[in-house]
Every structure is written in C-alpha cells, then in structure tokens.
Amino acid sequence: MNNKKPLNYVRTLRRRWALTQKELADLLGFENRACISRIEQDKRIPSLESALALEVLFGVAPRAMFPRVYAETEEEVMRMALHLYEATFHSSSLQQQRKRQALDLALKRATKSSEAKGV
Amino acid sequence: MNDAIDRQFVLAVYPSSHGFAFVLFERPDAPFDWGMKQIRKRNKNAQTLEWIKKLVDRYEPEVLVFEAPSAKSKRTDRIVRLYRMLTHFAIIEQLSVSRYTRAEVRSCFATVGASTKYEIARVIANQIPAFMHRLPPVRKIWMSEDPRQSLFDAAALGIAHYARKDQGLV
C-alpha cells in the first residue's frame, strides 16, 4: 500500500464481479497479473486498447473508470486550447472563427463538468 | 462513478477474533474497496491498527466508522481496547469518528424487516451486488460465526452511518 489515493475503479469493478487479477490479466491479454496490479494502484496508465477492453468487459467508459487521468488530460488540453484561442483571437477569417467555435464548445463542456464536480 | 475526484470516503471497520473487516464507501450503495484481513500473530491490536493506518494513508477517508460497544455488549476486552486505540488514532489523524451501537445499527435495518445479523447481511447483499457472493450461509446454533460475517458487519456500520446522516443525526 505505497500509493496514495488510487483514483481509478479497476480494482472496484474487478472485485465487484469476483474476478481475480490473473483472470482479468488473461481477459485483457496481459502476460501476468502484475500489469493489472500496477493499473489498479495508479502506477501505470493503461493503453487505449486496454482501456477499451475494460469498457467492453465492465460497460464503464474510460472517462468514468479513470477520473483522475481524465481530469488531468482535460486540464492540459484546456490550457493548450486557451493558447490557441488567444493566438487566433484577432483573426476574422472563417477558418479561425470555426476553430474558435470548437474551442468555445470544448471550454463549455469542461466548465460544465467542473461545475458538476463542484470545482 | 462519475466525478470521483472530489469524492468523500467513509471507512467502516469491524474487528473480530480473526482479524478485521473493512468497507470503504463512496456512497451507501457503492463501496470502493472492501476486504478482510486475518491477523493471527500476537499483539493483534497493534497489527490491526497498523493495517487500518495503511488504509487511511491510502484512501484518506473523511470519516472512520466503528462500533460503540454498549453496556450489554459481549465484545472482548481486547476489542474494546482496540476501539479506544482507534479513537486516539482518529484524533491524531484528524479524522471524524462515528460510532454506533449494535442497537443503533439494527434500528436502521428494522425498517426493511431485518433484525438478525444474517437478515441484515442479506439486505446488504441485495443492496450491494458485489457482496452477494460473499454472503455466509445461515448460521446454525452449533456453528461458530463465519469470518465473512464481519465484512457485512462493517458494511452495516457504514450504511447505518449514511442512514443517520440522512436523518440529520450525524
């Protein structure tokens, strides 16, 4: 128990369905259960294939299964989006306006999810 | 399961002669982690406290829930001492503590017609499907208590905590 706050639901879902780490490793195509252990303890971020395989298995979207990774990714993307927004702010070309629309929508979605979390 | 970043955990623990059981709740119907730890060595209380400390360090719960032995309680001196140690530990760790007597836990489940330990365990198993496969068999009079029962006792404490919180009693 070295790791603090393992903010993902892989262990919870695995145990909810009475699966062992070995069984889940076999289902996901890992060589051994250590990979599952590392994912459960937040020591390893699963690949896209593994995240989708977990969704197939448990019916839970990666966003909900790995909330911290999602939050960190969202924050980073929003930071970069802000840079791009500022860079295109003074341009009135249709192409740049279209980009700003996309960034606006992304920002609204991010704000909405932050409000839902009470941030 | 959504928005788990800001979640508040409630850690319910129930010591037994075998060791202790814990259930870490995110919501009353959604335990995040649970388990039973067998402690066979000497100095069981120190070992139990050590394990609970590891759980607290790992999950940083808001509330620690455990039993408040009543005057009629048949809990051993060791476990009563352990409860005192847990109270001190919670003060040091700045954790909120909620303690409930067995009668208080029973009263929470009385509304659904469960009064015995087994009936309460069955209600919990129905409410939390993850526990269904851990439900111990009905205890006969000549049988000692199944170690799995302690998991349901811990869960009952956690659920009682949420129920009393909803009623504004906590």
Domains of chain B by residue range: 8-166
Distance CA B55, CA B49 (A): 10
Give me A69's structure tokens: 């990774």
Q: Do B1 and A1 touch (CB under 8 A)?
A: no
Q: With bands split at pLDDT 50, 70 and 90, how would you rate the model's confidence at A116? A: low
Q: Do A4 and B33 touch (CB under 8 A)?
A: no
For residue A56, is pLDDT > 90?
yes
Contacts of A15 in chain B (CB under 8 A): 33-34, 130
Q: Does B130 touch chain A (CB under 8 A)?
A: yes
| Whether the complex's predicted ipTM surpasses the cut of 0.95 | no
For residue A6, is pLDDT > 60?
no
Q: What secondary structure does DSSP assign to B106-135, as a single string? A: HHHHHTTT--SHHHHHHHHHHH-GGGGGGP
The per-residue pLDDT for range B128-141, each reduced to its tens digit, is 999 999 999 988 88
| Least confident residue range of A107-111, B31-35, B49-53, B142-146 | A107-111
Q: Do A67 and B5 touch (CB under 8 A)?
A: yes
- Helices of type H across chain B: 44-59, 77-93, 102-110, 117-127, 149-166
CATH number for the domain whose boundaries are B8-166: 3.30.420.10
Q: Do B60 and A5 touch (CB under 8 A)?
A: yes
Q: Does B59 touch chain A (CB under 8 A)?
A: yes
Contacts of A111 in chain B (CB under 8 A): none
The per-residue pLDDT for range A61-81, each reduced to its tens digit, is 999 999 989 989 999 999 999
Question: Which residue of chain B has the CA closest to A3?
Answer: B58
Which amino acid, one-letter code, is at B90? A
A36: enclosing H helix or E strand: helix A34-40
The per-residue pLDDT for range A86-101, each reduced to its tens digit, is 888 888 889 888 999 9
Distance CA A67, CA A58 (A): 16
**Nearest C-alpha of chain B: how many angstroms from A41?**
10
Rg (CA), chain B: 15
Domains of chain A by residue range: 10-65, 68-117
Distance CA A116, CA B130 (A): 27
The per-residue pLDDT for range B73-97, each reduced to its tens digit, is 788 899 999 999 999 999 999 999 9
Higher local confidence (pLDDT), B31 or B7 = B31
Q: With bands split at pLDDT 50, 70 and 90, how would you rate the model's confidence at B165? A: confident
Nearest-by-Cβ selection for B130 from A16, A64, A116: A16
For residue A11, is pLDDT > 70?
yes
- At A117 the pLDDT is 54
Contacts of A12 in chain B (CB under 8 A): 31-33
* Stretch B34-52: mean pLDDT: 91
For residue B6, is pLDDT > 90?
no
For residue A4, is pLDDT > 50?
no
**Nearest C-alpha of chain B: how many angstroms from A80?**
22
**Nearest C-alpha of chain B: how many angstroms from A4?**
4
- At B170 the pLDDT is 63
- At B168 the pLDDT is 75
Q: Do B1 and A117 touch (CB under 8 A)?
A: no
Q: pTM of the predicted model, to two decimals? A: 0.83
Q: With bands split at pLDDT 50, 70 and 90, how would you rate the model's confidence at A3? A: very low
CATH architecture of A10-65: Orthogonal Bundle (1.10)
